[in-house]
């Protein structure tokens, strides 16, 4: 049997079509990503941009059609931070649900955190060791601690790569004062995060982390097999944040491994990851090329 999930985030829309094997495990048969930036301007206006709605709905329509063409028996579509926060989110949900042919489920920050953790646990939690998972999105960042199947702490913080870029980074390249203000904002928000379990392994989920790995590797073309499971040290993450923050946008857009549509928000994303690692005392982060769409697959179809 084949199943599909579509994850509509603040910055990206992601499709997963997976086949369930006889042993109950899943193998991906189609994965796609489009950057549509549904959350453009939401932090400032509290409303969704009509052009962003149109672009995102079009992506959902294409992905739903691709899932059915691939033989998916069932499809789940979820939406996260931008749809949660916008006053007019219902307008998008109605249009996207019509495009997908199924209702779009707005998931809470807590559920988003649980799904991210389950995805990471399946790949990196062998033996039931303690995990810390950071899921950096466009509008929010989820932080989860767990031991085996048990979640010990979870919280969704309203700091994401798109939100913090729009809030603080306006010069090109960002000024020293803007970067200080962004870091101060992060420090204030992350002060509520408790220490992780001693010896926990940090797993980083979503496009910021995988993009930083791709830049570090200098990938001319995307190679998920090389990115998934790759480690970056705290020093490498901070070095990438400094390097990217010192580059004009036009130069960032030319970097191997950095999608052009992510170039304007990668500085804030890198700063979030660096701040999380420094605040929590992690010396390395392991990248996951999966996330909420995989967690929803396991939760809804994995038994």
Tens digits of residue pLDDT in 73-100: 999 999 988 888 899 899 999 999 999 9
Residue ranges, comma separated, of all CATH 3.30.420.150 domains in the chain are: 110-288
pLDDT single digits (tens) 182-241: 999 999 999 999 999 999 999 999 899 999 999 999 999 999 899 999 999 999 999 999
β-pair partners for 197 = none
CA 19 – CA 6 distance, rounded (Å): 15
66 closest CA partner among 31, 34, 36: 31
CA 256 – CA 265 distance, rounded (Å): 16
CA 135 – CA 178 distance, rounded (Å): 24
Give the ranges where the chain is alpha helix by DSSP (H). 42-45, 50-69, 81-85, 89-100, 109-124, 161-168, 176-190, 207-217, 224-227, 234-245, 249-252, 266-280, 292-301
214 closest CA partner among 202, 206, 226, 203: 226
3-class state of residue 194 by DSSP? coil
* Per-state percent for the chain, helix, strand, coil, to nearest 5: 45, 25, 30
3-class state of residue 88 by DSSP? coil
Radius of gyration of the chain (CA): 18
Q: Which residues contact 298 (CB under 8 A, 6 or more apart)?
A: 26, 118, 119, 122
The pTM assigned to this predicted structure is 0.92
CA 122 – CA 95 distance, rounded (Å): 33
Residue ranges, comma separated, of all CATH 3.30.420.40 domains in the chain are: 2-106
Place 127 in a pLDDT band, splitting at 50, 70 and 90. confident
Instruction: Using alpha carbons, list the distances in angstroms from residue 106 to 1, 117, 292.
Output: 26, 18, 13
pLDDT single digits (tens) 137-178: 998 999 999 999 999 999 999 999 999 999 999 999 999 999
What CATH architecture applies to the domain 110-288?
Answer: 2-Layer Sandwich (3.30)
3-class state of residue 198 by DSSP? coil
Q: Does domain 2-106 have CATH number 3.30.420.40?
A: yes
């Amino acid at each position: 049997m084949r199943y599909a999930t579509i994850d509509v985030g603040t910055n990206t829309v992601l499709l997963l079509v997976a086949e369930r094997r006889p042993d109950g495990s899943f193998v991906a048969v189609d994965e796609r990503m489009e950057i549509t930036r549904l959350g453009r301007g939401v932090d400032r206006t509290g409303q969704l941009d009509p052009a962003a709605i149109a672009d995102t709905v079009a992506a959902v329509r294409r992905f739903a059609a691709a899932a059915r063409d691939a033989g998916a028996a069932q499809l789940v579509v979820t939406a996260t931070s931008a749809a949660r926060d916008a006053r007019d989110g219902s307008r998008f949900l109605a249009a996207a649900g019509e495009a997908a042919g199924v209702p779009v489920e707005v998931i809470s920050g807590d559920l988003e955190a649980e799904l991210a953790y389950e995805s990471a646990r399946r790949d990196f939690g062998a033996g039931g060791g303690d995990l810390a998972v950071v899921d950096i999105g466009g509008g929010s960042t989820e932080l989860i601690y767990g031991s085996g199947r048990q979640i010990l702490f979870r919280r969704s913080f309203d700091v994401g790569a798109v939100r913090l870029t729009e809030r603080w980074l306006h010069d090109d390249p960002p000024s020293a004062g803007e970067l200080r203000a962004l870091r101060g904002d992060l420090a204030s928000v992350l002060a509520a995060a408790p220490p992780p379990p001693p010896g926990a392994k940090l797993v980083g989920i979503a496009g910021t982390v995988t993009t930083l790995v791709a830049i570090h590797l200098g990938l001319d073309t995307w190679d998920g097999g090389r990115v998934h499971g790759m480690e970056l040290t705290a020093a490498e993450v901070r070095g990438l944040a400094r390097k990217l923050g010192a580059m004009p946008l036009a130069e960032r857009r030319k970097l191997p491994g950095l999608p052009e549509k992510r170039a304007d928000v990668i500085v804030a994303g890198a700063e979030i990851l660096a701040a999380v690692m420094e605040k929590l005392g992690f010396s390395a982060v392991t990248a996951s090329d999966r996330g909420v769409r995989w967690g929803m697959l396991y939760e809804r179809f994995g038994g």
